[in-house]
Amino acid sequence: MIIEKIDKSRFTPEIFNIQSFGTAFADHMLVCSYKDGKWGEPIIKPYGKLEFTPAMSVAHYGQGIFEGMKAYKGSEGDVFLFRPEKNFERMNKSAVRLDMPEIPEEIFMEGLKALVDLDRQWVPDIYGMSLYLRPVMFATEEAITARSANEYLFVILTAVAPNYYNKPLSVKVADRYSRAANGGVGYAKAAGNYAGSFYPTHIAREEGYDQVIWTDDATHTLIEEAGTMNVMVRIGDKLLTAPTSERILNGVTRDSMIELAKSSGIDIEVRKITVEEVYNAHKSGELKEVFGVGTAVVVNNYVAVGYGDERLELPDLPLEESYGKSLKKKLVDLQMGISEDPFGWRIKVEEKLVEA
């Protein structure tokens, strides 16, 4: 691995006052190209612009995938990754689905650790904040030919992450548009999955909501995801989440929340959830919580769910009564090294490099 350090770091402590997500990029990035059927040597270099042709394949045929991860800093200054092997596995699963080359483990994992180590001063030591990590791969071949490309670029960039949402959100149940379909790429973190969600979200916002609760493409009767996150529903004292499928992303945060709920004694069930079931639970007073879970936001409890012309208001439960809020605290405490990690999820980034 080649490491080219920045001449002068752009870091200042004031960067941790940032309010916007995904705009304050750290000093370095990792770049590795795929050409002639093999991966080249990864390079860590100063973060900056890259030069591309407008004929590069991703701009025309959409071969682009990514992952979302975070690095955390504990009170003793140690820096941790959280379950990075799950993101590595899922990225290669996405690569296979889009007929892209799989990334070798040593490039992904060792490159990630070296990059975070080099820019560890950019990892906030403030509770709830982190350094967001974005591995991304896209087709760079100069060819407007409808086929899988022969050349790709793998990049890892990082950005300081404040709280993703600083206000409670409301969501509208989709009854026309779909995020994904059977046989499609819904289970992959393909760039086009997100592009296709923006217009329905725009419509929901015009109706006074922040995001969309996605339903199944065939009948729109099954709750699947929420915005860019997995979704969990609490009816009475039972926590529900939909099973993963060809349409539903296997979220790392979702999986972690399921395990934390089980270890906390919460009655959790992974099964299909119908829109009608949620609606009836609200009418009977049994719908306690609906919340989204994902890497960027961790957990966001919704204040209302839109169903047709009705707005179903949800209670704002205190921390000690809320499954969503209490599980979020347990997860963040674990990620930041505040609490014990009985699952072995927290991976310490060893200090091996001299800061630039």
3-state secondary structure 87-106: HHHHHHHHHHHCCCCCCCHH
Long-range CB contact pairs, 263-269, < 8 A, 24+: 263/342, 264/326, 264/327, 264/330, 266/237, 266/239, 266/323, 266/327, 267/237, 267/238, 267/239, 268/238, 268/239, 268/240, 268/241, 269/238, 269/239, 269/240, 269/241
Pick the CATH number of 2-163 from 3.30.470.10, 3.20.20.10, 3.40.1160.10, 3.40.50.1240: 3.30.470.10
**Which phi and psi angles does 106 have, rounded to 5°?**
-65, -30
What one-letter code names the amino acid at 214? Answer: W
- Alpha helices (H) in the chain, listed in sequence order: 58-61, 84-97, 105, 111-118, 191-206, 252-263, 275-283, 323-335
- pLDDT averaged per 10 residues, the chain (length 356): 96 93 95 98 97 97 97 94 98 98 98 97 95 98 97 98 79 95 95 95 97 96 95 98 94 97 98 98 98 93 96 96 97 95 96 62
Question: Where do the structural domains in the chain lie, given as residue ranges?
Answer: 2-163, 169-335
pLDDT at 356: 41
Residue labelled with tokens 């009705």? 310
End-to-end CA distance of the chain: 16
pLDDT at 165: 64
Architecture in CATH for domain 169-335: Alpha-Beta Barrel (3.20)
Closest CA to 131 of 341, 336, 344: 336
DSSP state of 242: P
Q: How far apart are CA 260 and CA 266, in angstroms?
A: 9
Closest CA to 154 of 112, 119, 123, 114: 112
346-348 vs 79-82, strand pairing mode: antiparallel
Is 169-335 the same fold as 2-163?
no
Q: How far apart are CA 182 and CA 131, in angstroms?
A: 34
Q: How far apart are CA 232 and CA 214, in angstroms?
A: 12
Three-state DSSP state, 172: strand
Both tokens assigned to 342: 């009985």
Rg (alpha carbons) of the chain, rounded to whole number:
21
pLDDT at 346: 96
Closest CA to 149 of 66, 56, 39, 54: 56
pLDDT at 75: 85
pLDDT at 61: 97
**Which phi and psi angles does 318 have, rounded to 5°?**
-70, 165
